[in-house]
Structure 1
Amino acid sequence: MESVNDLDSKQQALKPIRTKIAGGEEESGKKPYDIEEEEEEPLSPAARIFHEPNFNVYIIAIMGWKTKMDIQVVKAHFLRTLLKHPRFSSLQVKDDDKGGAMRWVRTKVDLDKHIIMPDLDQKTESADKLVEDYISDLSKTSMDLSNPLWEFHILNIKTSDAESLGVFRIHHSLGDGVSLMSLVLACTRQVSDSEALPTLPVQKSSNPNPVKSGGVWSLIKMVWYTFVDVLMFIATALFLKDTVTPLTRHRKKGVGSESRRFAYRTVSFDDIKLVKNAMNTTINDVVMGVSLAGLSQYLNRRYGEAKGEAVATQKKNNIPENIRLRATLLVNIRPSPGIHAAAFLFHRVPNHTTLCFSNIVGPIEEIGFYGHPLAFIAPSCYGQPHGLMVHFQSYTNKMTFILSVDEATIPDPHQLCDDIEESLKLMKDAVIARGIVKENLIK
């Protein structure tokens, strides 16, 4: 079996495709790839940002299945579904005549270069560790521009939470998380009805009219807080950095060059809704609160260890006062999300903050992917400047927290998963013990 690093060393020897505008041909008259049809559409500003040296981001979507995957079935269905999408059957071509500007060019896709099924050691003592290492190795590699920038890795090995796994690796320039998730879900059907598409929960507005809900004073406070937030955003983009903490990433070789590790933990969605109903808040508020509480426990332990304490207990606060620790939030709060970005902000703001959070809403019923029932889905990213990125992914009656960590910054991501899970349990126990809400009030 060729390792991921071996494959990447071969890819690095390939130079990005560069072509003249006329007919897509080099001066020699030979086409460097098999073009079906040329699209003169250039890459969008958002897509170009994801090719910036400081923000070359890839999406990793780990999908656990309840059965072994049939590679021939996957290939047959990809031809009829995924490859019909122009972004998955197009090259990103650099034009020398336009100063290296990039545009989409349709091409024929060789599925054998995109669907990868490694020969894994089925007798390994820890399948979970083997899979985790394999996915981590992907973060050390990149895809060259001589092929459409996506791959699907089939890992037919039984783990603690699935009979097999599929791992999508997609360059973020192909789309944002919501659009790509919608595309993947379009390839699935409900397990209970093989003809029915997945159903996503309806988002309810959580932004009431400030004048009607709280009067003029609420409107004045909203304007003031907005003004302060704008000033803080500008300051962050220009000079304001977070305090150096154990969560601060120290990059020596440049963004994306260090390996990342992906850890995830699945909890009960009913527990999250229980806390939500008790506090009269939103799901986003609960998962953010749970994550921050877990991070506090983790950070408290790391500071305690730095002081030489063998065990950092909950009773002692080891976190210094007045530290500035902020997060970039990439949370879907709009029915129709839009993209407004500039490369300067995409570089400066993430580099001046410590964490990043994002969420994606999943189906409310069990689904199958070309006949393979889905056990869980865990999307994440690599190539971003943060040492820690936390994704939230809902699916049926479960919520999965996915951590993308720089190994040098957070060497023990599973401990952080434990802290997040424990924080949810403490919140649930607290609201029940205080009689704020009864378990049978879950909706």
Structure 2
Amino acid sequence: MALRVKVGRGEALERSEPVSPTAQYFNSSVLSISVIAVLEFENPINDSSSLALINDVFLPINPRFSSIMVEDEEGGKHWKRVEVKVEDHITVPNFPKGLSLKSYDNYFNEYLSIITTERLPQTKPLWEVHIIKYPTSNASGSVVFKLHHALGDGFSLMGALLSCLQKADNPSLPLTFPNFQKSIKVDSAINKSFMSVVPQALSGAINTVLDFGWSVLKSSFLEDNQSPIRSGKEGVEFRPINITTMTFSLDQIKKIKCSLQVTINDVVTGMIFLGTRLYMEETNDEAKNSNPTALVLFNTRSIGGYKSVDEMVQNQEAQKLWGNQFAFLHVPLPKLNQHEPSLNTLKFVQETQNVIKRKKNSAAVYLIGTLLESVRKYKGPETTAKYIHRTLKNSSMGVTNLIGPLEKMALANQPIKGLYFMVVNVPQSLTVTIMSYMDQLRVAVGTERGLIDPDKFRICIKKAFNMMFNASIESK
């Protein structure tokens, strides 16, 4: 298919950007992973300015939004700038009129399921926008962005979307976000004695070897058993899914955090893991003996927060933050103690926190990155993509989170009530994403249709949260 190559407003293309190895993995013959981002509006949507917004604000953020992935004569892949017809990327579906909110919920959920199973066409830039003008239980209207993971990871893509928005009460001011940077502890390694540093170094080396070896085995041979949260079927990434969301109070989560002296991420991950265990055991009593593993994804950038549109467009250093810069950890789900459920709840969270903290302090994630690069160099990106596909498929679930703005935001002066995202076309039966917005935490759950009961799973997650909150109060 012939395409006219243009840059921005008609300037000739002189050179193209090479496609990064990770982007090639995510857009290969075995993987085609995308991110769905949903913006929920307080008022009915006025889409009259949508074309201008995308042309003037969204497209300039990064050249990849105006590019397609092409292959040269030597097999190398590049981002090739093309002329973008914005109207070809926007869809406004028609639902029946005059239905109840519950009926529109069903139509909306079914529509989401359909667009998640469809692959983005390779003949035009890898994104699309769906404008849903019908009300649901959560919003008066919704805008759904579907963005291919080859364009960037969740931090890049959500950062791009958020940079298009403004404060609802004062559009002239930028959105503010919680600080990403970690506080520096006084008892740093410089101040520690030699006798305390040496055991830690030895422990770190042992953990690195064990974690790296286990990760390689999980990606190659060791496959989680079939369970209420894992079908293990071939092509599970192409099967229909249900996307369910739930909202939690950040103030209550912070109370649990202070009670247990852990991080917010530890509380949320513990809640997800505990709720998953509850669901498994309530669905199948034999599941209490299973040993599912989760892939927990985390951002590897050393930065203080998202970048604005101007920084994304003008600042070369900000552009370097774009792309896929993340790592994943294989984390086993702790088991429940049936005899002391309240005490076990706190122990469950602390055990989850200890495992993740130990694995983050291990150098295994860097060794895995080196391994993937070696496979790519000697066997090519397609073989590496197959390795990553097995890594995802052999585990039971994926968990990832992003930080949202502290105050209410608006798009073209239309207030946004809520937002969430979901990673789709992943060869897993269960994916959980978390995003904060104002004083709330939104948890979205993507479940394989016909295997996992989304309503029951949501109830189990909420039950886990209540157990944790009550246990933290009792422990005080």
TM range (shorter): 0.7 to 0.9
Q: Provide the residue aligned with 2:81 in structure 1.
A: 106
The higher relative CO (CA closer than 8 Å, separation ≥ 6) is in 2
Q: Provide the residue aligned with 2:36 in structure 1.
A: 60
Q: Which amino acid aligns with 2:36?
A: I
Describe the superposition over 1:55-84 as per-residue Cα deviations: whole angstroms up to 9, x where unpaired.
210111111111122212222222111111
Q: Report the more deviating stretch, 106-115 or 340-349.
A: 340-349
Describe the superposition over 1:142-173 as per-residue Cα deviations: whole angstroms up to 9, x where unpaired.
22122111111110111111111010011111
- Report if aligned partners of 1:332, 1:360 keep a CA contact under 8 Å in 2: no
Describe the superposition over 1:258-278 as per-residue Cα deviations: whole angstroms up to 9, x where unpaired.
112211111111111111111
Q: Which amino acid aligns with 1:112?
A: E
- Report if aligned partners of 1:211, 1:219 keep a CA contact under 8 Å in 2: no
Q: Structure 1 281/212 Cα, relative in aligned 2: closer, same or farther at 3 Å?
A: farther
- Report if aligned partners of 2:294, 2:396 keep a CA contact under 8 Å in 1: yes
Describe the superposition over 1:316-352 as per-residue Cα deviations: whole angstroms up to 9, x where unpaired.
xx5343x321011112365347355543541232122
TM-score, normalization by structure 2: 0.77
Q: Provide the residue aligned with 1:117 in structure 2.
A: 92
Off by >6 Å, runs of 4+ in structure 1: none
Q: Provide the residue aligned with 2:392 in structure 1.
A: 350
- Report if aligned partners of 2:3, 2:82 keep a CA contact under 8 Å in 1: no
- Report if aligned partners of 1:91, 1:105 keep a CA contact under 8 Å in 2: yes
Matching residue within 260, 264, 277 for 1:279: 260
Q: Provide the residue aligned with 1:150 in structure 2.
A: 127
Q: Which amino acid aligns with 2:77?
A: M
Cα distance in 1 for residues equivalent to 2:189 and 2:226: 37
Q: Provide the residue aligned with 1:389 in structure 2.
A: 431
What SS is found at the alignment partner of 1:373?
A: strand
What SS is found at the alignment partner of 1:356?
A: strand
Q: Which amino acid aligns with 1:60?
A: I
Q: Say whether 1:329 aligns with 2:329.
A: no
Cα distance in 1 for residues equivalent to 2:407 and 2:166: 10
Q: Provide the residue aligned with 1:139 in structure 2.
A: 116
Q: Say whether 1:169 aligns with 2:146.
A: yes
Q: Provide the residue aligned with 1:9 in structure 2.
A: none
Cα distance in 2 for residues equivalent to 1:344 and 1:388: 20
Shift of 1:280: 0.6
Shift of 1:425: 1.6
What SS is found at the alignment partner of 2:79?
A: strand
Q: Which amino acid aligns with 2:138?
A: D
What SS is found at the alignment partner of 2:147?
A: strand
Q: Say whether 1:376 aligns with 2:418.
A: yes
Cα distance in 2 for residues equivalent to 1:241 and 1:212: 43
Q: Provide the residue aligned with 2:463 in structure 1.
A: 422
Matching residue within 68, 85, 94 for 2:71: 94
Cα distance in 2 for residues equivalent to 1:124 and 1:54: 40
Cα distance in 1 for residues equivalent to 2:86 and 2:225: 47
Shift of 1:176: 0.7
Name the count of aligned residue pairs. 388
Q: Which amino acid aligns with 2:92?
A: M
Shift of 1:46: 1.0
Describe the superposition over 1:225-279 as per-residue Cα deviations: whole angstroms up to 9, x where unpaired.
2222122112222312222212223324x25321122111111111111111111
Q: Which amino acid aligns with 1:221?
A: S
What SS is found at the alignment partner of 1:199?
A: coil
Describe the superposition over 1:177-203 as per-residue Cα deviations: whole angstroms up to 9, x where unpaired.
101111111101111211111111102
Cα distance in 2 for residues equivalent to 1:33 and 1:143: 20
Matching residue within 261, 264, 274 for 2:242: 261
Q: Provide the residue aligned with 2:360 in structure 1.
A: none
Q: Which amino acid aligns with 2:293?
A: R
Q: Which amino acid aligns with 2:83?
A: K
TM-score, normalization by structure 1: 0.82
Shift of 1:129: 1.1
Gaps of 5+ in 1: 1-16, 18-30, 305-317, 437-443
Q: Report the more deviating stretch, 323-332 or 156-165.
A: 323-332
Q: Say whether 1:196 aligns with 2:238.
A: no
Cα distance in 1 for residues equivalent to 2:158 and 2:151: 12
Q: Provide the residue aligned with 2:223 in structure 1.
A: 241
Q: Provide the residue aligned with 1:40 in structure 2.
A: 16
Q: Say whether 1:128 aligns with 2:105.
A: yes
Q: Provide the residue aligned with 1:432 in structure 2.
A: 473
Q: Report the more deviating stretch, 206-215 or 424-433.
A: 206-215
Cα distance in 2 for residues equivalent to 1:190 and 1:32: 39
Q: Provide the residue aligned with 1:81 in structure 2.
A: 57
Q: Structure 1 331/158 Cα, relative in aligned 2: closer, same or farther at 3 Å?
A: same
- Report if aligned partners of 1:153, 1:166 keep a CA contact under 8 Å in 2: yes
Q: Which amino acid aligns with 2:269?
A: M
Identity rate, percent: 26
Shift of 1:117: 1.1
